Amino acid sequence: MLSGGIAGARGGPRARWFRVAELSLQSNHLHLIAEADDQAALSRGIQALAIRVAKRLNAEVVNAVDYVLSNWFRHAGREVSIDDIDRLSSVADRSLVVRPQTWLLRMAWTKAG
């Protein structure tokens, strides 16, 4: 996931004026050393990198939620229709789970998926 977001900083037209030289992914943030032609290029490069990584992260969350909520289709052992719901999932019974605390799980995945 991170490599896809960083790849944009390595190639393409942006690579002429903004380059990631070193990086380290921490548990909840990213350390990086970048070089840029000037202050404006650094600002644009960091903004572009943040957008690319955020989009990749959002896509991963959408995929994970979709996998969890749709996995029962693969295990049903029968033909299922789009109107069938997994009666043992949080879709059928919201009391099985708590409300997510992060905006990403509360809202973003529903907008993307």
**What's the burial of 102, exposed, middle or buried (CB within 10 Å: 0-12/13-18/19+)?**
exposed
Per the model's pLDDT, the better-predicted residue between 52 and 103 turns out to be 52
Q: What Cα–Cα distance (Å) separates residue 102 from each residue in 57, 99, 107?
A: 13, 9, 9
Q: How far is C-alpha 94 from the geometric centre of its chain's CA atoms?
A: 24
Give the three-state DSSP class for 76: coil
Distance CA 103, CA 109 (A): 9
Q: Delimit the domains of the chain by residue range.
A: 2-112
**pLDDT at residue 110 in the model:** 64
Which tokens sit at 89? 């999932």
3-state percent helix, strand, coil for the chain, nearest multiple of 5: 55, 15, 30
β partners of residue 23: 32
Which tokens sit at 21? 């030289």
**pLDDT at residue 96 in the model:** 74
Q: What is the pTM of this model?
A: 0.61
Per the model's pLDDT, the better-predicted residue between 112 and 73 turns out to be 73
β partners of residue 110: none
pLDDT category, 8, cuts 50, 70, 90? Answer: low
Q: Per-residue pLDDT tens for 12-65? A: 565 688 999 999 988 888 899 999 999 999 999 999 988 988 888 888 888 888
Q: Per-residue pLDDT tens for 57-101? A: 888 888 888 787 777 777 776 676 767 777 667 776 777 778 888
